[in-house]
Chain A
Amino acid sequence: MDAALEVKAVVKAFGAVRAVDGLDLTVPRGTTCGFIGPSGAGKTTAIRMIMSILFPDSGQLRVLGKPSALQAKDRIGYLPEERGVYRKMRVDAFLLYIAQLKGVAPDVARARSTKLLARLGLADAATKKCEDLSKGMLQRVQFIGSIINEPELLILDEPFSGLDPVSVKVLKDIVADEHKRGATILLSTHVMAQAEELCDQVIMINKGRKVLDEPMSGLRRQYDLRRILLEPLDLAADLTALREVPGVERVQLTADGCDIALAAGTDPAATMRAIAARVAPVRIELARVRLEDVFIRLVTEGAATDESAQALRTHLQGLSGEGVAS
């Protein structure tokens, strides 16, 4: 498949700090690619280089078949992590200006802007000054600015941060629509659940280096952690006794039951039947792979200790604001 984005051995240093250190990645056209990693991993720097806002110290980039995004900016949509608007400018004028800079004809830009503002619940805000909008509303306006040129490549840097759940849902729907339209989407996030939900490929970076580059399907196969989640019918049931079930390696109690880790080579179906026979379940299911777990496994591999893995897990939980089962 033709690549929308190719990055080869790209390095960018700020003084002594190598923010991006020999990064290689390829994003095929038409895919939604999650670009994930903790804060400070180098995601934003890499994206800025892809956008030709920053320039690499070494390495090569190809964006939509061009050697630089400068030659394809009209075909790219970009929502930066740092949100910004002209505070004194009216919302419709701001969107028109951004659209025109991206080569959209004024009448087309006006029509798209009206449609998207309505879809994102901002129809009444069109004639307001940007400074009169709330932070969440401004973020939606900027999101519109990133897709108003119907880009072939859409780069979203933390698009959902700070938004209310309803807005997140609307934005996710639009991202899905853009994907259906045929746009290639690079979604940078540190909330791994969002990448799990939206992406069909995941690229993980840590400390400026790529640690994973897999399709989601392959990832699930490769990093299947073989965990069973159990919610017992009888809350007083002795769950620790499940350790004696053949193939069970570890049982971790959770708020509504337990999280059971299986030993390598265990047949999950047989083990689930054995568990259900011992403790009557309300719910028993094979857990899906979590990107957090994959990430933790990858970055703590080798010299990994329980403490370092736990510290990283806590860090990731802090970033995403979501609980992670152990």
Chain B
Amino acid sequence: MTHRIWLITRREFLTTVSGKGFLIGLLVMPALILLLVFLVPRILTSRSPQVQGEVVVIDRAGDVLASLRTQLDPATIEARRAEGRRRSLERAAPGFGQAAPQAGGPPIPALTLVERGADTDLQQQKDWLARQIPGQRHLAFIVIQPDAVVRGEGKSDYGTYDLYIAAGLDDATVGVIHEGLRLSLVGSRLKASGVDPAAVETSMNVERPNPVIVATDGQQKSRTGFNRALPFIMGLLLFIGVITGGQTLMASTIEEKSNRVVEVLLAAVSPLELMWGKLLGQLSVSLLVMAVYIGLGVLGMFQFAIIGLLDPMLVVYLLLFFLITYLVFGALMLSIGAAVNQLADAQSFMGPIMLLLIAPYVMAPMIGQAPNSTFSVIASFVPPVNTFAMLARLASATPPPMWQVWLTMLVGLGAASACVWFAAKIFKVGLLMHGKPPNLATLIRWARMA
């Protein structure tokens, strides 16, 4: 019996991994991630041309324009962006802020500031803005209110500014103008109050250290930044593993059924041997895929010397939970494959299964942020999302108690056994059934029949 299961497993594995589709599939996922992370933002930004044109400033406060010129100078904008990127990366991966790319984001607008007198007629200015001249684009005009720097007598709040923009001006440029005005006004207000803006900036800057968790078994740095992405990464790996094996399992079963080769196989092996051989064959394929991705990830972490951030136990848990999740979804997809006659018929059954697979994704951020909330704890014990939920909690800043981990495994194993039992029943009956695809009631009847 074991020999026959091994033969089927080996054939399933070799047939799948030797196909062109597998290699393409294996490369597609990393390629998509690279595309999303690096290429898409570049493509998006590279397509937006640099905005050039005039911005009229009516400085009724009197001393903001000079500062605004500095703040809207392309070199200042670029320096501000670079600092923003450095801080973001530092938050994500402490110690890596300096590695932030020096350039990026949409092109910096080339804004020519044109000063107009405080008594300029607004309507005239609006007409100017509406009247676009080729080669000299009118972008916006700003009216800085008289009390924007020095508060009016008896008033607790400062005045602000009004911004009028030309139709079609992009949000990024508007954002640059807003940010420039904010910084200019803050600087001017501080100066007017007799405070040195540089000193304020220095005193406002408090570096946020990585918190240290103190527990009975010693102390350790808490997970932040990069590690916060771990629940997502783990969930993604689980998803990829399950979907890789499950989809192929379903498709190959449908193919064997529609090719009628299944009866030839059943002449040599029992339905259960065939089912286990297929399940284990695709499990090996999924494990190979996950090993490749985990290997690439670990290699990358070594490359950036951040391997210490990864708890090796997480990989162990990932594999354990993967086995359980694979058996649950693999068995369900296998039974769908055995029940229907062609891939198109499987779509109606695949809908709920995909929902169940995607649901943990929606839940992952909630669980990551509050890993020990009632919702997170309950989700850890409700199959089939329990493995995803528990993995997200294990990868979070405050991992759950061990008894909960064991309970999740126990519940998961129970669910896996039930699904494999159900699949075995459907497999036994459905493989030789042709004609109209069954509905759920028929599947249940088959399960009772077998």
Contacts and interface: CB of A to CB of B under 8 A. Distances in A.
Interface of A: 48, 51-55, 70, 73-74, 76-78, 80, 82-89, 97-98, 100-103, 142, 145-146
B21 to A, nearest CB: 11
B262 interface: yes
A275 to B, nearest CB: 52
Contact of B4 (A78, A80, A101, A146): A101
B266 interface: yes
B270 interface: yes
Given A78-B267, A101-B4, A86 B259 contact: yes
Contact of B268 (A55, A88, A98): A98
B131 interface: no
B259 A53 contact: no
B130 interface: no
A102 B269 CA distance: 8
Contacts, number: 63
A93 B263 CA distance: 18
Given A53-B432, A102-B268, A84 B263 contact: yes
A101 B270 contact: no
B266 A51 contact: yes
Contacts of B269: 73, 101
Max count, chain B CB within 10 A of own CB: residue among A74, A86, A88, A103: A86
Contacts of B428: 55
Interface string B306-334: 00000000000000000000000000000
B261 A86 contact: yes
* Size class of the B contact interface (CB-based, 8 Å): 20 to 34
Contacts of A97: 7, 11
Q: Which A-B residue pairs are the 6 nearest by beta carbons?
A: A84-B260, A84-B261, A78-B267, A101-B268, A82-B260, A80-B263
B79 interface: no
A54 B264 contact: no
A101 B7 contact: yes
Contacts of B450: 55
Interface in B1-55: 3-4, 7-8, 11, 15
Contacts of A146: 267
Contacts of B103: none
B298 interface: no
Contacts of B262: 84
A101 B277 CA distance: 12
A145 B11 CA distance: 17
A80 B267 contact: yes
Contacts of B259: 84-87
B23 to A, nearest CB: 16
A279 B144 CA distance: 131
9 contacts: A73-B269, A82-B263, A85-B259, A86-B261, A97-B7, A97-B11, A101-B8, A103-B3, A142-B264
Contact of B264 (A48, A80, A87, A88): A80
Interface in B382-404: none
B358 interface: no
A208 B86 CA distance: 80
Contacts of B271: 53
B418 interface: no
A86 B259 CA distance: 7
A51 B265 CA distance: 11
Of the candidates B263, B265, B267, B268, the one having the most CB atoms from chain A within 10 angstroms of its own CB is: B267
Contacts of B3: 103
Nearest to B4: A101
A73 B268 contact: yes
Contacts of A84: 256, 259-264
A174 to B, nearest CB: 18
Nearest to A45: B432
A76 B270 contact: no
A54 B428 CA distance: 8
A83 B266 CA distance: 13
Contacts of B260: 80, 82-84
A62 B228 CA distance: 63
B432 A54 contact: yes
Contacts of A53: 263, 266-267, 271, 432
A146 B266 CA distance: 12
A98 B256 CA distance: 14
A301 B263 CA distance: 37
A142 B267 CA distance: 12
B266 A101 contact: no
Nearest to B270: A70
Interface string B282-310: 00000000000000000000000000000
